[in-house]
Amino acid sequence: GNSVTQMEGPVTLSEEAFLTINCTYTATGYPSLFWYVQYPGEGLQLLLKATKADDKGSNKGFEATYRKETTSFHLEKGSVQVSDSAVYFCALSGWASKIIFGSGTRLSIRP
């Protein structure tokens, strides 16, 4: 079945460091891929998405490229801020609104 694997956390970085959170997926067909972010005490917010191979999703300085050949959708940001501290979820779309989520990566940014 479809599944998502993302790197374990927690990840701790200093402000202005480069961020990569790895995500790979297994899927039949051509799912859409997403990164969601969850701030403490809140629900999920869509950070970015890509709907087909080689698409790049971007938002708030974050980027991820849909790589079909490596079945990956790694999240990157060139310079992180303290306000980026949150839990990040990689996800893919399934049939009838079902989203399959990875286990989440907790990111902490030190000032």
Partner 1 sequence: KAGVTQTPRYLIKTRGQQVTLSCSPISGHRSVSWYQQTPGQGLQFLFEYFSETQRNKGNFPGRFSGRQFSNSRSEMNVSTLELGDSALYLCASSGTGTGEETQYFGPGTRLLVL
Judged by CB under 8 A, does residue 101 bind partner 1? yes
Tell me which of 2, 24, 32, 71 binds partner 1, using CB under 8 A. Answer: 32
- Bridge partners of 56? 65
Strands 105-110 and 11-14: parallel
Spatial separation of the C-alpha atoms in residues 36 and 43, rounded to whole Å: 10
Please identify, among the stretches 13-21, 35-43, 62-70, 76-84, the one whose residues bind partner 1 according to the rule CB under 8 A: 35-43
Tell me which of 40, 69, 70, 98 binds partner 1, using CB under 8 A. Answer: 98
Q: Which residue has the tokens 């990689």?
A: 90
Q: Report phi then psi at 41, rounded to 5.
A: 75, 10
Tell me which of 73, 104, 107, 109 binds partner 1, using CB under 8 A. Answer: 104
Q: Which residues bind partner 1 (CB under 8 A)?
A: 31-32, 36, 42-46, 49, 51, 89, 93-104
